[in-house]
Amino acid sequence: MKAVVYEKYGSPDVLEFRYIDKPVPKDNEILIQIHATTVNRTDCGLRKADPFIARFFTGILRPKNKVLGTEFSGVIEATGKSIKEFKTGDSVFGHSGDKFGTHAEYICLTEDDPIAFKPQNMTHEEAASICDGATLAWTYLSKADIHKGHKVLINGASGSIGTAAVMLAKYRGAEVTGVCSTDNVEMVKTLGADRVIDYTKDDFTRDAQKFEVVFDAVGKSSFSRCKNIIKSRGIYFSTELGFMAQNPFLDILTSKIGNKRVMFPLPKYTKEDVLYFKKLIEGGYLKAVIDRSYPLEDIVEAHRYVETGHKKGNVVITLV
């Protein structure tokens, strides 16, 4: 089968288009022909082993998992004999978790992995772009128990995590302020943001409003810079560890001291969340935001584009 493989850490040029063995499903697995997948910040970070601490999970000297990619949408080609939920020909979407491997034509997963039937109101390209950004956004926002009346600020509101966060926060009834560049202001408004700050013109950390939640979906700010716009008993989230892993440390410290909290929850990809996203998609509350699409053979260019830091929503890779 076609796949993109990397044998060492480095620039996008370490990625190689190859033909490798097609997987065979075990009794408890389904074989999925992948129609679409994505390239995101996580893929780029793992490819570079940046931050270095990632090597303790992916391989100290060289990658243990040779095929990157986690999001997918596709069609089941075969099932193991113990499979009950799915059958051959079903369209499914989801996330491969720490198994990775979606930058290839086929993958084997179990029924208990984070997968579900593909929403009928989405194409494979659209469905493939949902689960990573939405899971990361929901990991943070659900911790804050967001509800009607809450004011939420989302920095990086035009990226894959940020766009999902805007829609999820609005679904929960929050008043949402998005932060993005000039080119993305109108797009963020169409996602439901009540107000948008153009960071090229205004410093959101000096905003006159105060918020129950400040969510930095791109890791470009800090708790100290945002502290003045967080309400008493409010919460600051960031997707980045911070300098010398300060955010996990501040999570522990601010739980004991002060009236403003830093929280740094670790994402967990679950079937329950994918089913929740499917429900929101079919209800019109969560939609795909796709910037560019590349064939699998051009995945090096996709990595280069993602690393510019200027993508809007998601970058999709098509295989079928």
Domain span holding position 62: 2-130+288-318
Number of domains in the chain: 2
- Asked whether residue 58 falls in the same domain as residue 78, the answer is yes
17 located within any domain: yes
Same domain, 142 and 88: no
Nearest-5° Cα angle at 242, 238 to 244: 155
Domain match, 224 and 304 both: no
Tell me the H-state helices in 172-208: 185-190
Alpha-carbon torsion 207, 213, 216, 217, what sign?
Answer: negative
pLDDT in tens, 141-165: 999 999 999 999 999 999 999 999 9
Within a domain: 270: no
Residue bearing tokens 């998601």: 314
Residues 160-202: tens digit of each pLDDT: 999 999 999 999 999 999 999 999 999 999 999 999 999 999 9
User: Are 257 and 140 members of one domain?
Assistant: yes
Question: Tell me: the pLDDT tens digits for 33-84?
Answer: 999 999 999 999 999 998 787 888 889 999 999 999 999 999 999 999 999 9
Write the CATH number for 300. 3.90.180.10
**Does residue 142 share a domain with residue 257?**
yes
- CA angle 215–176–131, rounded 5-degree value: 60
CB 61 within 8 A of CB 67: no
Indicate whether 45 belongs to any domain: yes
156 domain-assigned: yes
List the structure tokens of 101.
């491997």
Give Cα 64 distance to the centre of its chain: 22
Clarify whether residues 237 and 307 are in a common domain. Answer: no
Q: Do residue 106 and residue 149 come from a single domain? A: no
Same domain, 121 and 12: yes
The answer as to whether 279 is a domain residue is no
In a domain, 274, yes or no: no
* Long-range Cβ pairs for the range 12-20 (8 Å, 24+): 12/47, 12/300, 12/301, 12/303, 12/304, 12/307, 13/300, 14/47, 15/47, 15/299, 15/300, 15/303, 17/296, 17/297, 17/299, 20/67, 20/104
- Domain assignment present for residue 108? The answer is yes
CATH number (domain holding residue 239)? 3.40.50.720
